[in-house]
Amino acid sequence: MSMTPVEDDVFTAFLREKAAEAQRAVKYRPIEFLKMLGSIGGYKTAVSLLTKPKVSNGFTRLFIGGRLDLTVEAVILESRWARFFDDYLISSAEKRLSNVGYKVVRPDQSAGAFSGGMDAASGAEMLNNSSYDSDVQSLSFNVGQEYTRVGVLALLGIPRPTGGKWYSGHVYHAGNHFLFCNVGSAGRTGHNYNNHYLDSRLVWYARSDYRLGQPLVSKLIGQEESVFVFYRQSDRDPFMFAGIALPYEVVDAADGDPLKVVWDFSSQHIQKLVEGAVSATVLEGAASMKIVKVYERDRGARLRCVKRWGRKCFVCGFEFEKVYGELGRGFIHVHHLKPLSEQGGEYDLNPEQDLRPVCPNCHAMLHRSMPALTIEELQRQMHLARLQSNA
């Protein structure tokens, strides 16, 4: 049985969650696996791995770490996703796990949902069981299902507008937030905000005028109101509903970089706000406690970094002024060698030792993994890619 595009999107998100869990469990960053998910989707990735004559490096690492339950083989066999794969692929997965003594636990066939809380038959995560604002209490968006912007308006009971706020990326309505974003492509204005997925989380960049402390931004990241996230990969495509999001990391705008929010979808339950410190908001949920950290960058640190290291990308050597002339003069991103989100709080920043100038492309690639790649690791990736392209 083949998957529909919607089912494949849900399955891809399911595999991303398992990859993130594996990274936390055995400290293994499955870079190639995540690249495959991003380029060919979950179904083709699984088929490719199951048809290879040997097990993957990820299988070996998870075997060593005692977490074979997180291998592609196990997560397929132990979930209802197994019904999408033919007998040959199922047999291949079973044989690999049997050879290393792993006992597969089959799902309860009477259960109504897939492992991980996602039902691929409907692509659904029903939202109307939670206590939202009365104006949207009856809403039922399905995770993984496509919606046009007009379709979202119809569900909200709003007549099709001729313009205005509903055609922007962030809409605030009836005490709820609706984010509409392009991932990996430019929006209708032609501007590419560099929104992208990092494992199962969405890295989202706000409009250039958003700043921490603004009333609307405070509402957006405050967790007292729901944030509905819709994304698409092309400006002419309908939007896919990603789910209700909670902020995992927030970095204020500075030095030309817009406000950044990393949205987390690991829990679709509405969390209750609990009093916390200024730098950290503690959320008490049904299953876990989450800490959301808000980071404000030292604007003077960038100037000291650039004065020491110049404006040439430390990874690839690109210089904007040489390519773009006067337009590119002075432009460069600054990368924290010790990412703010991994410090666990404030630390003494030495701009000359802890910061490096990088171009936006390399900056995005450094943060494609969690924890972030080192500059040396990214340079090795680039070298390997060149060797493979020339082979």
Comparing 145 with 278, which gets the higher pLDDT?
Answer: 145
Q: Are 207 and 258 in contact (CB under 8 A)?
A: yes
66/63 Cα distance (integer angstroms): 5
Whether 28 and 60 have beta carbons less than 8 Å apart is answered as no
Which CATH number among 1.10.3470, 2.30.280, 1.10.150, 3.30.1330 corresponds to the domain 140-268? 2.30.280
Q: Are 148 and 108 in contact (CB under 8 A)?
A: no
Residue type, 339: P
Boundaries of every domain in the chain: 5-99, 140-268, 299-390
Q: What is the pLDDT of residue 345?
A: 47
**DSSP designation for 160:** P
Lowest mean pLDDT among 2-6, 73-77, 175-179, 265-269: 265-269
pLDDT given for residue 133 in this prediction = 36
pLDDT for 347 beyond 60: no
Separation CA 327–CA 330 (nearest Å): 9
Position 295 scores a pLDDT of: 47
Res. 187: pLDDT tops 90:
no
Q: What are the start-end ranges of the E strands in the chain?
A: 146-147, 170-173, 176-182, 196-198, 201-205, 227-232, 239-244, 246-251, 260-264, 272-274, 280-284, 289-295, 333-336, 355-358
Kindly state the average pLDDT of the residues 7-22. 85
Confidence of residue 277 (pLDDT cuts 50, 70, 90): very low
Higher pLDDT, 241 or 87: 87
C-alpha pair distances (Å), 278 with each of 159, 182, 222, 228, 293: 40, 31, 12, 25, 9
Q: How far is CA 40 from CA 5, 8, 31, 332, in A?
A: 12, 10, 14, 32
Average predicted confidence (pLDDT) for the chain: 75
Least confident of 62-71, 236-245, 345-354, 356-365: 345-354
Q: What is the pLDDT of residues 74-87, one digit of tens each?
A: 999 998 899 899 99
Residue 163 pLDDT class (50, 70, 90 cuts): low
Nearest to 114 by CA among 156, 71, 78: 78
Going by pLDDT thresholds of 50, 70 and 90, the confidence category of residue 323 is: very high
Q: How confident is the model at residue 198 (pLDDT cuts 50, 70, 90)?
A: confident
- In the chain, the largest separation of any two C-alpha atoms, in whole Å, equals 66
Residue 165 has pLDDT above 70, yes or no: no
Q: What is the pLDDT of residue 370?
A: 63
Higher per-residue confidence, 324 vs 342: 324
Per-residue pLDDT at 51 exceeds 80: yes
243-253, pLDDT tens digit by residue?
888 888 888 88
Q: Which long-range contacts (CB under 8 A, 24 or more apart) does 317-324 make?
A: 318/359, 318/361, 318/362, 320/359
114 vs 112: CA distance, rounded Å: 7
φ, ψ for residue 41, nearest 5 deg: 85, 170
Q: What is the pLDDT of residue 300?
A: 65
pLDDT value at 332 more than 60: yes
The pLDDT value given to residue 343: 54
